[in-house]
Structure 1
Amino acid sequence: MIQLKHIHKEFEGRVVLDGIDASFQPGKINMVIGGSGTGKSVLLKCMIGILKPEQGQVLYDGRDFLKADQDTVKAIRREMGVLFQGGALFDSKTVLENVRFPLDTLTSQSVEEKNTRAMLCLQRVGLEAAAHQMPSDISGGMKKRVGIARAIVMNPKYLFCDEPNSGLDPLTAVKIDLLIQEITKEFNITTIVISHDMNSVMRLGEYIIFLKDGKKVWEGNNQNLLQTEVPSLQEFLSTKLT
């Protein structure tokens, strides 16, 4: 489980996150939604350690990520997998080398062991045939699948996905959604998805928080999202579902 307690983040005196509380459950798709500039990506960056909030706690199975000693921080980082919005693949590395990269930097496994693990992850996302291609030679949807393979290569407990459907056609977006859903259930991962794609939210959102002006103003799931009586969420949905 990942718990957020009173997360507060400012930039040059401007409050971006204002006392965010949430509990993200293992084996579920947990989603953060909201309009542009509402703090979604900043929240994710605070959770994975790219940014440090001024106040609050980020608890990984009870371990305070923000106040932990260096060894504990490293241990938590090894349990994370991250799918970045643009894929963030290395242009100079093959697909296999991209997937293997976390193993190269975080483990002492042999090259053979790392290649075997990377190939297993590529097989899981249906891309073993593309192992020796370069990122420039594959489609946008394939790049997202390579990103997922890299995100799970360390067998993470926590998976973070930043706008996984950004730039994809509707059919490919559905495939990526289903892949994230399958992997979450298969490995009992605590998955956090930042999204503005309401089709994805309605398909996947087992636990959803809605941010407005840096505050959490609603939480629930895809079953009760459309029944909300929160005006700001109703307004947000009206712009996304029309």
Structure 2
Amino acid sequence: MIEIKNIQKTFGDRTILAGVSGKFKPGDTSLIIGGSGTGKSVLLKCMIGLVKPEEGQVLYDGRDFLTGDDDTQKAIRREMGVLFQGGALFDSKTVLENVGFPLDMLTDLGTAEKIDRAKFCLQRVGLEAAANRMPSEISGGMKKRVGIARAIVMNPKYLFCDEPNSGLDPLTSIKIDELIREITDEFQITTVVITHDMNSMMEIGEKIMFLYQGKKLWEGSSSTITQSNVPELNEFIYANKLLRDTKA
């Protein structure tokens, strides 16, 4: 389980996060939603150690990631998998090499073991046939799937996805959502997804946290989100539905 307590972050005189707290449980696909500039991506970066908040705690199964010693922080990082918004694949490496990169950097596995693990993860996302292709030779949706394969190659306990559907068509977005949910359930990973996609909210939002101007204004599930009495959340949902209907 991941628990965040009173996360506060400022940049200059601007408050980005104002005391955000919450819990994320294993086997759940947890979503952090909100409009642009609400602090959701900064919160994710605080959780994975790319940004350090001025105050608060980030606990991984009780271990404090922010104040832990080097060994504790390294151990937690090895248990993380991250899918970045743009995929962040290495253009000079094949699909298989991209997936196996964390194994090269963080493990002492032999070459054959690393290849077998990378192939297994590619198979899990349905891309075993693309192992020897370059990132420039595959579609945007395939790149996201490669990113997911790389994110799970270390068999993580915690999976973070930053806007996994960004730039994808609706059908591909649905497939990515389904894949994230399947992997979360299959491996009982604690999964945290940053998104503003309405379909993701309704289909995989087992737990949803809504941020507005750096504050958590609502928390619940996809089955209760439309019953909210929070005006800012209702406006956010309406705007997303209107955008989706316009694209359709």
Give the Cα–Cα distance (whole angstroms) in 1 for the partners of residues 150 and 221 of structure 2.
28
Equivalent in the alignment of 1:87: 87
1:66, distance to aligned residue in structure 2 (A):
0.2
Provide, for residues 210-237 of structure 1, a one-character-per-residue CA deviation record: whole Å limited to 9, x for no partner. 0000000000000000000001111111
Give the Cα–Cα distance (whole angstroms) in 2 for the partners of residues 52 and 185 of structure 1.
30
Equivalent in the alignment of 1:66: 66
Give 1:91-102 correspondences, 5 Å limit.
91-102=91-102
Give the percent of matched residue pairs that are identical in Structure 1 and Structure 2.
Answer: 70
Equivalent in the alignment of 1:132: 132
Equivalent in the alignment of 1:195: 195
The letter for the 2-side match of 1:6 is N
Provide, for residues 72-112 of structure 1, a one-character-per-residue CA deviation record: whole Å limited to 9, x for no partner. 10000000000000000000000000000000000011111
Equivalent in the alignment of 1:214: 214
Provide, for residues 43-62 of structure 1, a one-character-per-residue CA deviation record: whole Å limited to 9, x for no partner. 00000000000000000000
Q: Runs of 4 or more off by more than 3 Å in structure 1? A: none
The letter for the 2-side match of 1:100 is G
Give 1:159-198 correspondences, 5 Å limit.
159-198=159-198
Equivalent in the alignment of 2:43: 43
Equivalent in the alignment of 1:235: 235
Equivalent in the alignment of 2:123: 123
Q: CA RMSD in A?
A: 0.5
Give the Cα–Cα distance (whole angstroms) in 1 for the partners of residues 135 and 165 of structure 2.
18
Give the Cα–Cα distance (whole angstroms) in 2 for the partners of residues 136 and 14 of structure 1.
39
Give the Cα–Cα distance (whole angstroms) in 2 for the partners of residues 145 and 199 of structure 1.
18
Runs of at least 5 residues in structure 1 that lack an aligned partner in the other structure: none
Query: TM-score of the superposition, structure 2-length normalised?
Result: 0.97
Give the Cα–Cα distance (whole angstroms) in 2 for the partners of residues 175 and 199 of structure 1.
11
Q: How many residues align?
A: 242
Equivalent in the alignment of 2:245: none
Q: Secondary structure of 2:44's partner?
A: helix
Give the Cα–Cα distance (whole angstroms) in 2 for the partners of residues 234 and 129 of structure 1.
43
Give the Cα–Cα distance (whole angstroms) in 1 for the partners of residues 131 and 233 of structure 2.
43
Give the Cα–Cα distance (whole angstroms) in 2 for the partners of residues 169 and 241 of structure 1.
16
Give the Cα–Cα distance (whole angstroms) in 1 for the partners of residues 237 and 217 of structure 2.
14
Give the Cα–Cα distance (whole angstroms) in 1 for the partners of residues 164 and 7 of structure 2.
24
Q: Secondary structure of 1:241's partner?
A: helix
Give the Cα–Cα distance (whole angstroms) in 1 for the partners of residues 197 and 139 of structure 2.
20
Provide, for residues 181-234 of structure 1, a one-character-per-residue CA deviation record: whole Å limited to 9, x for no partner. 000000000000000101111000011000000000000000000000001111
Give the Cα–Cα distance (whole angstroms) in 1 for the partners of residues 180 and 238 of structure 2.
26
1:238, distance to aligned residue in structure 2 (A):
1.3
